[in-house]
């Protein structure tokens, strides 16, 4: 019996040592903080109308997971999959269409589109996947010049736009709840930096982005389709931001949210990160960055 107990202890020690020496690039949790399998998330996402992927813009695991999830959702949905992204502004939709449909060359697209500095490493693989599989890619975000107007003048600043310009943003007036926690927290943060930073239009500029991304996502979605939308996590965390606007327009939508967080220890999800989304991708804090 003693020999058996000794062997059992050796086995437990070996398993524990193997676990401790493992270096996973991420762990996946549900909103309650329970670790879940990737396949569970994909099954849930494939049955949704809209999947919101909240990324950390400079995190390579976020970007790799975006591509992997997109590939697996394509396996499930085929031509019924639509891609959409904060990283492309609505006035670049024609360019994006022309490139993904093969009308213009890659050089023309990349020279003329307003691309983020990390496009080549982080978003180009998604665009090329859409192009290679004849999938629609939505440029969902508001042109930054119009968000800048809201930051300076409030929503009223958009009233002077003509109809062609207004077609590039969410229909006005948009719903706005200054007490929504994501906007309230933004305002409180700015107040904490001093009176010079306490601009009440800052959360409004965030809201017009969220409303516009929701608007264009729904403009292209129809029943039976699945839109996967890539955005900074703050635009969809806590089921607010874009998700709030989507639900305002269509309360019956099935939306699955995914977010990305960084922790020093990823063996369990920190309490502060629970409830951020339906699925939480937890990445080590010392993960290398894309920029």
185 is in which domain, residue-wise? 26-284
- pLDDT of 13 over the 90 cut: no
Within 10 A of 26 (CB to CB), how many other CB atoms are there? 21
pLDDT digits (tens, 9 = 90+) for 115-166: 999 999 999 999 999 999 999 999 999 999 999 999 999 999 999 999 999 9
pLDDT digits (tens, 9 = 90+) for 87-96: 999 999 999 9
Q: Is residue 251 part of a domain?
A: yes
Mean pLDDT taken over the chain: 93
Q: Is residue 20 part of a domain?
A: no
d(CA 13, CA 16): 5
Q: Provide the pLDDT confidence category of residue 17 given band limits of 50, 70 and 90.
A: very low
What pairing do the DSSP bridges indicate for beta strands 50-55 and 226-232? Answer: parallel
Report the C-alpha dihedral over residues 121, 218, 210, 171, rounded to 10 degrees: 130
Q: Is residue 12 part of a domain?
A: no
CA atoms 256, 218, 136, 106: torsion sign: negative
Q: Is residue 291 part of a domain?
A: no
Q: What is the CATH number of the domain that holds 237?
A: 3.40.50.11550
- pLDDT of 19 over the 60 cut: no
What's the order of all strands across the beta sheet hosting 226-232?
27-30, 279-284, 255-263, 50-55, 226-232, 81-89, 137-141
Q: Please give the pLDDT value at position 3.
A: 52
Q: Please give the pLDDT value at position 196.
A: 54
d(CA 164, CA 157): 16
Q: Is residue 5 part of a domain?
A: no
Q: Please give the pLDDT value at position 199.
A: 82
- pLDDT of 1 over the 70 cut: no
Q: Is residue 16 part of a domain?
A: no
- pLDDT of 206 over the 70 cut: yes
Q: Please give the pLDDT value at position 2.
A: 53
Within 10 A of 98 (CB to CB), how many other CB atoms are there? 16
Number of domains the chain contains = 1
Can you say how many angstroms the Cα of residue 87 is from the centroid of all Cα atoms in its chain? 10
Name the percent of the chain lying above pLDDT 90.
87
Q: Is residue 84 part of a domain?
A: yes
Q: Provide the pLDDT confidence category of residue 226 given band limits of 50, 70 and 90.
A: very high
85, two tokens = 């992204």
Strand stretches in 102-207, DSSP E: 137-141
- pLDDT of 45 over the 60 cut: yes
269, two tokens = 């999800």
Q: Is residue 128 part of a domain?
A: yes
Given a contact cutoff of 8 angstroms between Cβ atoms, the answer to whether 59 and 283 are in contact is yes
Q: How far is CA 218 from CA 154, 192, 230, in A?
A: 25, 36, 14
């Amino acid at each position: 019996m003693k020999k058996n107990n000794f062997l059992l202890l050796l086995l437990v020690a070996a398993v524990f040592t193997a676990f401790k020496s493992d270096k996973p690039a991420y762990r996946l949790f549900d909103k309650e903080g329970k670790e879940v399998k990737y396949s569970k998330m994909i099954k849930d996402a494939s049955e949704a109308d809209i999947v919101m992927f909240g990324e950390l813009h400079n995190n390579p695991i976020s970007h790799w997971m975006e591509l992997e999830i997109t590939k697996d959702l394509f396996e499930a949905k085929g031509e019924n999959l639509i891609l959409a992204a904060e990283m492309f502004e609505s006035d670049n939709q024609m360019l994006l269409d022309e490139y993904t449909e093969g009308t213009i060359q890659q050089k023309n697209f990349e020279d003329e589109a307003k691309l983020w500095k990390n496009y080549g490493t982080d978003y180009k693989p998604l665009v090329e996947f859409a192009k290679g599989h004849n999938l629609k890619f939505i440029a969902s975000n508001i042109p930054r010049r119009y968000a800048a107007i809201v930051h300076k003048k409030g929503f009223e600043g958009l009233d002077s736009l003509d109809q062609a310009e207004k077609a590039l943003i969410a229909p006005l007036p948009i719903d706005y709840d200054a007490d929504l926690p994501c906007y309230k927290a933004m305002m409180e943060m700015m107040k904490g930096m001093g009176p010079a930073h306490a601009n009440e239009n800052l959360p409004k500029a965030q809201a017009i982005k969220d409303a516009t991304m929701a608007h264009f996502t729904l403009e292209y979605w129809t029943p039976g389709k699945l839109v996967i939308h890539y955005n900074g996590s703050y635009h969809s965390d806590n089921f607010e931001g874009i998700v709030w606007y989507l639900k305002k327009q269509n309360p019956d939508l099935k939306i699955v949210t995914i977010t990305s967080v960084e922790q020093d220890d990823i063996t369990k999800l920190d309490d502060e990160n629970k409830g951020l989304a339906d699925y939480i991708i937890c990445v080590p804090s010392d993960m290398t960055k894309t920029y």
